[in-house]
């Protein structure tokens, strides 16, 4: 039996429930690979799973007031997986953040800890800044496929200002790997997009019933909410609930806006899966019992 089972899927695909069943069947413990579920203050809106049935790790493991990076997750996840393996148990890594899985498999260049920079520019200001940095430091943004991704854009500037090297130059260095390729069983869920849309709608209604608005109200009191570029602020539902509480949109508009954003997020996850996970075993079953049976059979034979 291999020691690390990877389970990727779009939001609302049922991967958290399946991960629990896998862990129960194979004497495992679950490790989170979702960049939004790491924040302790946001449990309902990030769809953090119930942790009572089996041991879960790296859920709510950091505060929204702290900086959290892919590198930090990689370090924490590596240590946790090794701890699980030392107990002769199986690590089940589950989530929807494709980049987390990529670094777990491929490793990560050991870039020094970079102080985060905060900027707030309008589109014109951002365009002028991009031109200025591109002229002074050719290649600084070569690794970006979307210059509108402000978080990665400012990260590129911070890396260069702090280290004197572009992110692309850092990426040419040899990755530090903590695991071998044969240690992984790689599984991804690709249910029908219409089914995902229906699940997203039902799930957000449940979130509202379970206190999502109160959770958001508490979050708005934090200093993090005032930092528009903080990763936690991109959690779907926070911005929309704020508009609803400000009486700028109705409850129906709130629900519709969240549905649209979550659909767009799921689409990006499907795109990642198609481009980055071609060697993963994919399952498109909608019926949960069928899915569970097929995945269990596949794991047993791998």
In tens, the pLDDT along 278-300 reads: 999 999 999 999 999 999 999 99
Domain extent, residue 143, equals 123-171
Question: Are 150 and 230 members of one domain?
Answer: no
Question: Are 83 and 160 members of one domain?
Answer: no
pLDDT at position 212 over 90: yes
Give a yes or no: residue 127 inside a domain.
yes
Question: Are 207 and 64 members of one domain?
Answer: yes
Residue 143 binned pLDDT confidence (cut-offs 50, 70, 90): confident
Edge-first strand order for the sheet with 90-95 is: 56-57, 28-32, 90-95, 4-8, 184-189, 281-283
Beta-bridged to residue 187, according to DSSP, are 7, 281
Question: Are 65 and 39 members of one domain?
Answer: yes
End residue of a domain, out of 171, 189, 210 = 171
Question: Are 145 and 264 members of one domain?
Answer: no
Residue 2 binned pLDDT confidence (cut-offs 50, 70, 90): low
Give a yes or no: residue 45 inside a domain.
yes
Give a yes or no: residue 23 inside a domain.
yes
| % residues pLDDT > 90 (the chain) | 67
Distant-in-sequence, close-in-space partners of 100: CB < 8 Å, separation ≥ 6: 33, 34, 35, 70, 73, 74, 77
Question: Are 162 and 186 members of one domain?
Answer: no
Question: Which two structure tokens, joined as six digits, stand for 7?
Answer: 């389970």
CATH number, domain of 269, equals 3.40.50.300
Give a yes or no: residue 295 inside a domain.
yes
Question: Are 277 and 198 members of one domain?
Answer: yes
pLDDT at position 155 over 70: yes
Give a yes or no: residue 193 inside a domain.
yes
End residue of a domain, out of 132, 147, 171 = 171
Prediction pTM value: 0.83
Beta-bridged to residue 283, according to DSSP, are 189
Question: Are 165 and 180 members of one domain?
Answer: no
pLDDT tens digits for range 242-268 = 999 999 999 999 999 999 999 999 999
Give a yes or no: residue 46 inside a domain.
yes
Q: Do strands 28-32 and 281-283 pair parallel, antiparallel, or not at all (unpaired)?
A: unpaired
Q: What's the confidence (pLDDT) of residue 205?
A: 97
Question: Are 54 and 183 members of one domain?
Answer: yes
Give a yes or no: residue 118 inside a domain.
no
Question: Are 243 and 150 members of one domain?
Answer: no
Average pLDDT over residues 62-86: 91
Question: Are 19 and 101 members of one domain?
Answer: yes
Question: Are 293 and 222 members of one domain?
Answer: yes
Average pLDDT along the chain: 91
Give a yes or no: residue 117 inside a domain.
no
Average pLDDT over residues 24-46: 96
Q: Please give the tally of structural domains in the chain.
A: 2
Which of 46-50, 171-175, 176-180 is the least confident region?
171-175
DSSP assignment string, 157-221: HHHHHHHSS-HHHHHTSPPB-SS-GGGEEEEEE---HHHHHHHHHHHHHHHHHTTHHHHHHHHHT
């Amino acid at each position: 039996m291999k020691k690390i089972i990877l389970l990727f899927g779009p939001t609302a695909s049922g991967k958290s429930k399946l991960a629990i069943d896998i862990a129960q069947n194979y004497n495992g413990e679950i490790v989170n690979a979702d960049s939004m579920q790491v924040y302790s203050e946001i449990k309902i809106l990030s769809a953090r799973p119930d942790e009572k049935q089996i041991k879960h790790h790296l859920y709510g493991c950091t505060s929204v007031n702290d900086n959290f990076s892919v590198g930090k997750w990689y370090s924490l996840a590596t240590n946790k997986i090794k701890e699980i393996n030392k107990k002769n148990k199986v690590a089940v890594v589950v989530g929807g953040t494709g980049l987390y899985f990529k670094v777990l498999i491929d490793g990560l260049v050991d870039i020094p800890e970079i102080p985060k920079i905060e900027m707030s520019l309008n589109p014109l200001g951002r365009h002028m800044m991009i031109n200025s940095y591109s002229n002074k430091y050719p290649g600084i943004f070569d690794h970006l496929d979307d210059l509108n991704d402000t978080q990665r854009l400012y990260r590129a500037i911070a890396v260069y200002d702090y280290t004197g090297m572009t992110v692309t130059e850092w990426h040419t260095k040899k990755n530090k790997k903590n695991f071998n390729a044969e240690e992984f069983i790689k599984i991804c869920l690709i249910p029908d997009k219409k089914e995902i849309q229906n699940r997203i709608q039902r799930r957000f209604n449940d979130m509202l019933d379970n206190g999502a608005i109160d959770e958001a109200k508490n979050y708005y009191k934090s200093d993090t909410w005032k930092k528009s570029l903080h990763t936690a602020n991109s959690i779907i539902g926070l911005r929309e609930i704020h508009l609803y509480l400000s009486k700028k949109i109705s409850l129906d508009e709130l629900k519709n806006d969240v549905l649209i954003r979550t659909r767009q997020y799921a689409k990006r996850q499907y795109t990642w899966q198609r481009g980055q996970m071609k060697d993963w075993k994919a399952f498109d079953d909608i019926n949960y019992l069928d899915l569970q049976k097929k995945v269990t059979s596949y794991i047993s034979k791998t």
